[in-house]
Structure 1
Amino acid sequence: MRIEHYLEASAAQDGAKTAIVSGEVRLSYDHLLDLSRRLATTLHNHGAGRGERVLILLDNGWRTAVAVLATWMAGAAICPVNPSTKAERLAAIAGNCAPALVIVESRLERLVEDCQALAALPRLVVGEAGSFDSALEAAPFVPAEPFPDTDLAALIYTSGSTGEPKGVMHGHDTLDAAARAITRYLENSAFDIILVVLPMSFGYGLNQLVTAMLSGATLVIEKSFAFPQAVFETIRAERVTGFPLVPAMAAMMMQARDLDPSLFASLRYLTSAAAPLPLAHLDWLRTFLPHIRLFCMYGQTECTRATWLPPDKIDAKRGSVGIAIPGTKAVVVDETGEVVAPGTIGELVIEGPHVMRGYWRNEATTNRALRPAPDTGTLRLHTGDLFTADADGYLTFVSRMDDIIKSRGEKVAPQAVEEVLCRMPGIAEALVVGVPHDVLGEAVKAVIVASDPSLTEREVLRFCARHLEDHMVPKSVEFRDALPKTDSGKASRRLAALPANPTGSK
């Protein structure tokens, strides 16, 4: 089923029901459907039809939901990009996805104008000075014939170990398969009121819009988690029943002073994905909010969601991220692709209708990630993460197979940060490692050999802040006389993560 049909079906079921709450704006299902259809006409008239891509560079809000749904109605695929994205990454994404049109926040219009791959494209501007609302056509878009659900629905960009953006390709069919599995175990219904504070430019945030439309629920959209108390007040005021979070958000809740549990009295469930939820966070949440069902999950952009832990198994399967989501398979394999014995560490591989089509215009990387099972030949997603499985099939995350750092639930490629650091005058060599952090999960740390002895940590962090996305900026800098090397002479991140010789610090 195509995702925009979720909206149409829910509107037909109860068009007067509130679909979106975003600040002071409240949209019924009928109103959301009308806005989306009219914007779809605008997009189609500007060349964003079937087979094209629409780059969406918007803050979380009701207009983001309309832009996403309208793009699908026009037959195009969305390419959502985080508004905090810096110019270099935006240029790489734009050059790769080659969009037909850009929908941009008014405050970010200059960023688009300065991007060679985007500057000449049709543009719809959102915001007080923008033309988004006035650009809505009077007539809703109606395709000449129905679009198939095998069409490309989304390119969601992530970064691999090289730091190069990779466009994860999802069809309407793969997003549909994931959404139906997730709503099944969460038991979502039209009675739910789901909060999304996570960026809808990423899979976890976008999925909240998709599942809300599927179940006919109300979606409450918050711009960010920058002001947690305001978010908590919204939960109480809107009587939110579903609260998706990441470990960093749970840590902030734990550290909040005099946090009133009555703010969360309406909650039916919490979900945690993006990174394994630390046991301390899990235990605190269960004690602080004993009435809610807590779903610990694991997923990747490449498959939306892979595992879920039934809340009644939290104690029996402590530390596990659960079993495969309904209708899919998740197993741990060795280097030959064969399933390993219970308790043995191996790579997690995922099989099912929710797995991505591949990476956009990146056949080599696609072939590394999607490989045939040795027994059936069915393509499986190799996650690149190390897991164990117990005798009942419950999976536990162990470690990453590469050097990717997860900070605030987002992936950081060390080489991408190192490239920026090495461009800074005064730095001779640099390595980037992840170190444990109570709030972030992992914090990005730069280990530097300076060619300028007067260089300071503050200067390095300022330089990084100008050239990197916020979650990629190091939280600390350590100066050393030399980088640790392996026997082969290569700089070693593993050794750099170990405490330095005190005489090598600055």
Structure 2
Amino acid sequence: MRFEQFLIRNAAAQRAKTALVTDRKRLCYDELDDLSTRLAAALAANGVKRNDRVLVFMDNCWEAAVSIFAILKAGATFSPINASTKADKLAYIVSDCEARALLTQAKLMPIVTEARALSSGEPLFVASTASANGSVPGGAASFDECLAVEPSPVRHGGIDVDLAMLIYTSGSTGRPKGVMMTHRNIDAAAESITTYLCNTSDDIILNVLPLAFDYGLYQLLMAIRLGATLVLEKSFAFPHAIFERIRAEGVTGFPLVPTMAAMILQMRDIEPGFLPSLRYISNTAAALPPAHIARLRELFPSVRLYSMYGLTECKRCTYLPPDQLDRRPGSVGIAIPNTEAFVVDDEGNRVPPGVPGELVIRGPHVMQGYWRNAAATELMLRPGPNPWEKVLYTGDLFRTDEEGFLYFVGRKDDIIKTRGEKVAPKEVETVLHAHPGIAEAVVIGVPDPVLGHAIGALIVLSDPSLSQQDIIRHCVRHLEDFMVPKIVEFRTELPKTDTGKVSRRLAAETLEPAE
């Protein structure tokens, strides 16, 4: 069924139950359902029709959650845009997807105004929340007035193979690409993930990740699908405040990314079991180093820790059952329920255990393709085992063990060729993260006239007494000589994407060439 039906169904069954908690407002299911119906009617009245694209350009706020479900109720396709997006990129997205409307906040209207001047195409309906003094920026309709319209359901006639979401990739290798996901795609992904996480309607999930990041977005979608509660925070900049919110709300689920784990592990004033309500912690965006997994388990002894792997083009691929952490701490696990994951060589043939190859994903959660980008789509979606299907070639290198558990080797285009050898950055990073004095590390290739590429490492220390030679000696003890970093530089923080993931591309831009 269409995804907004989960909100409608759960609102009818448990009207007074808390659906959403934010710093400014708490919404029960009845209120979230009512407000999104009102906004859907306002969108329809302003020309939004079935299959139109509507952008949600907001930070993590209750208005963003209302907007997402209102767009679905209007029969349209929502596209969440990170609040840190600049005008030129926003203008590109507006033009690329031929957006019909944009919902935003007053503080972001200067960016919207600049983007509108840069973009081409049909006039764009813009609705904005009010500023601190209660006024609505010029050129925008009032978000509050949109919510005040008569709550009349929109009869759009849409079905579950319509596009529900167009989520743009980060665009680290060029212009961002719009990943097309139908209602059926989203439902399949949400059902699979909540199955292995053992989620129920009793769960209270805390999300600090941007709703424009699919890992953060799915916390909202999964919570509403289940009839659970989502506690929505804007960031993890103040961990102690987040921990207080977890305790106050009785949070049971805490999704994080490796940079958040690194922050937690640097804190000296927390004790094991300090968040007693937690049932599980999940991680994705990048693999947790085994050393970080071990230390997290010491801090959260009764919490189930899920190490996962996924990508925007299918949301989630694999998870490691928590009971396998001791046996395979470096693994990202097995295929999620109702999914098949296998490793192939350059000719598309499956490879035996231990042999690196590209990971391929089959399942109902695989994207429909990239918005109006047939060439990019053909690279990622290729013929599968059956004549009627396409499967997703992830572009990531993996290997399996004898029991079929998967291990991330690296991005195909991240592999460093040095001295005629191939080096996976993650293998070096794992060794670096195992040092107790290192908080974060990223490894990249640096052009070198003799080696081809030298191994370079950017490091954030938790022990400021360490020297570059200390780091190199540690690597010499644990790595083959050609894998030992030639360049080691210390940073107070590593460059990150808008979603909090360490950016290898930005890191490479800051490293000095080898001498």
The reply to whether TM is greater than 0.5 is: yes
Amino acid at match of 1:176: D
Gaps of 5+ in 1: 415-430, 441-463, 481-495, 502-506
* Secondary structure at the counterpart of residue 153 of structure 1: strand
CA distance in 2 between counterparts of 1:87 and 1:171 reads: 28
Count residues in correspondence: 438
CA distance in 1 between counterparts of 2:506 and 2:347 reads: 37
- Aligned-pair distance for 1:403? 3.9
1:30 counterpart residue number: 30
Change beyond 3 A, Cα 1:171–1:380: same
* Secondary structure at the counterpart of residue 144 of structure 2: coil
Change beyond 3 A, Cα 1:222–1:161: closer
Is contact 2:41–2:154 with CA below 8 Å preserved after alignment? Answer: no
Is contact 2:281–2:303 with CA below 8 Å preserved after alignment? Answer: yes
Amino acid at match of 1:303: C
Give the stretch that moved more between structures: 325-334 or 131-140. 131-140
CA distance in 2 between counterparts of 1:360 and 1:313 reads: 38
- Aligned-pair distance for 1:435? 4.2
* Secondary structure at the counterpart of residue 103 of structure 2: strand
Which of 115, 119, 130 is matched with 1:117 structurally?
119
Change beyond 3 A, Cα 1:361–1:260: same
- Aligned-pair distance for 1:31? 0.6
CA distance in 2 between counterparts of 1:218 and 1:12 reads: 16
Gaps of 5+ in 2: 137-141, 416-424, 430-441, 445-452, 463-494
CA distance in 2 between counterparts of 1:476 and 1:146 reads: 49
Kindly report which structure 2 residues correspond to 1:37-52, keeping only aligned pairs within 5 A, or say none.
37-52=37-52
2:336 counterpart residue number: 325
Is contact 1:105–1:126 with CA below 8 Å preserved after alignment? Answer: yes
* Secondary structure at the counterpart of residue 270 of structure 1: strand
2:381 counterpart residue number: 370
CA distance in 1 between counterparts of 2:509 and 2:209 reads: 28
CA distance in 2 between counterparts of 1:235 and 1:253 reads: 14
Change beyond 3 A, Cα 1:112–1:434: farther
| Cα deviation 1:149-207 (Å, max 9, x = unaligned) | 11101111114563211000000000000000011111111110001100000110110
| Cα deviation 1:299-329 (Å, max 9, x = unaligned) | 0000010101111111122211011110110
CA distance in 2 between counterparts of 1:384 and 1:188 reads: 30
CA distance in 1 between counterparts of 2:461 and 2:68 reads: 31
1:314 counterpart residue number: 325
Amino acid at match of 2:373: N
Is contact 2:293–2:329 with CA below 8 Å preserved after alignment? Answer: no
Which of 160, 171, 192 is matched with 1:181 structurally?
192
Change beyond 3 A, Cα 1:432–1:16: farther
CA distance in 1 between counterparts of 2:508 and 2:186 reads: 38
Query: What is the RMSD computed on CA atoms of the aligned residues?
Result: 2.9
CA distance in 2 between counterparts of 1:242 and 1:2 reads: 26
Is contact 2:168–2:176 with CA below 8 Å preserved after alignment? Answer: yes
CA distance in 1 between counterparts of 2:41 and 2:215 reads: 28
| Cα deviation 1:432-477 (Å, max 9, x = unaligned) | 998454599xxxxxxxxxxxxxxxxxxxxxxx99xx9997695687
Kindly report which structure 2 residues correspond to 1:46-85, keeping only aligned pairs within 5 A, or say none.
46-85=46-85
Is contact 2:331–2:405 with CA below 8 Å preserved after alignment? Answer: yes
- Aligned-pair distance for 1:142? 2.0
Is contact 1:41–1:137 with CA below 8 Å preserved after alignment? Answer: no
- Aligned-pair distance for 1:85? 1.1
Change beyond 3 A, Cα 1:25–1:374: closer
* Secondary structure at the counterpart of residue 315 of structure 2: coil
TM-score under structure 1 length normalisation: 0.81
Is contact 2:100–2:123 with CA below 8 Å preserved after alignment? Answer: no
CA distance in 2 between counterparts of 1:335 and 1:69 reads: 42
CA distance in 1 between counterparts of 2:364 and 2:456 reads: 33
Is contact 2:273–2:301 with CA below 8 Å preserved after alignment? Answer: no
CA distance in 2 between counterparts of 1:21 and 1:70 reads: 18
Q: Does 1:232 align with 2:235?
A: no
Kindly report which structure 2 residues correspond to 1:394-405, keeping only aligned pairs within 5 A, or say none.
394-403=405-414
Amino acid at match of 1:240: V
1:282 counterpart residue number: 293
Change beyond 3 A, Cα 1:120–1:358: same
CA distance in 2 between counterparts of 1:104 and 1:478 reads: 33
Kindly report which structure 2 residues correspond to 1:118-137, keeping only aligned pairs within 5 A, or say none.
120-128=123-131, 129-130=135-136, 131-137=142-148
1:504 counterpart residue number: none
1:420 counterpart residue number: none
2:390 counterpart residue number: 379
CA distance in 2 between counterparts of 1:10 and 1:386 reads: 41
CA distance in 2 between counterparts of 1:164 and 1:31 reads: 38
- Aligned-pair distance for 1:259? 2.0
Q: Does 1:219 align with 2:230?
A: yes
Kindly report which structure 2 residues correspond to 1:85-100, keeping only aligned pairs within 5 A, or say none.
85-100=85-100
1:106 counterpart residue number: 106
- Aligned-pair distance for 1:137? 3.9
1:199 counterpart residue number: 210
Change beyond 3 A, Cα 1:174–1:435: farther
Amino acid at match of 1:117: S
Amino acid at match of 2:227: G
Which of 183, 187, 190 is matched with 1:172 structurally?
183
Amino acid at match of 1:233: E
* Secondary structure at the counterpart of residue 251 of structure 1: helix
Is contact 1:73–1:141 with CA below 8 Å preserved after alignment? Answer: no
Q: Does 1:158 align with 2:169?
A: yes
2:256 counterpart residue number: 245
Amino acid at match of 1:169: M
* Secondary structure at the counterpart of residue 305 of structure 1: coil
CA distance in 1 between counterparts of 2:386 and 2:199 reads: 36
- Aligned-pair distance for 1:255? 0.7
* Secondary structure at the counterpart of residue 42 of structure 1: helix
CA distance in 2 between counterparts of 1:377 and 1:3 reads: 25
- Aligned-pair distance for 1:374? 5.3
Which of 209, 219, 239 is matched with 1:208 structurally?
219
| Cα deviation 1:56-105 (Å, max 9, x = unaligned) | 11010111100101010101111111011122222222221111011112
Change beyond 3 A, Cα 1:271–1:366: same
- Aligned-pair distance for 1:264? 1.3
Is contact 1:16–1:29 with CA below 8 Å preserved after alignment? Answer: yes
Give the stretch that moved more between structures: 136-145 or 388-397. 136-145
Is contact 2:458–2:507 with CA below 8 Å preserved after alignment? Answer: no
CA distance in 1 between counterparts of 2:15 and 2:394 reads: 40
- Aligned-pair distance for 1:48? 1.8
CA distance in 2 between counterparts of 1:123 and 1:100 reads: 9
Change beyond 3 A, Cα 1:161–1:229: closer
* Secondary structure at the counterpart of residue 80 of structure 1: strand
| Cα deviation 1:10-32 (Å, max 9, x = unaligned) | 11221110000001411110011
2:346 counterpart residue number: 335
Change beyond 3 A, Cα 1:275–1:358: same
CA distance in 2 between counterparts of 1:136 and 1:283 reads: 48
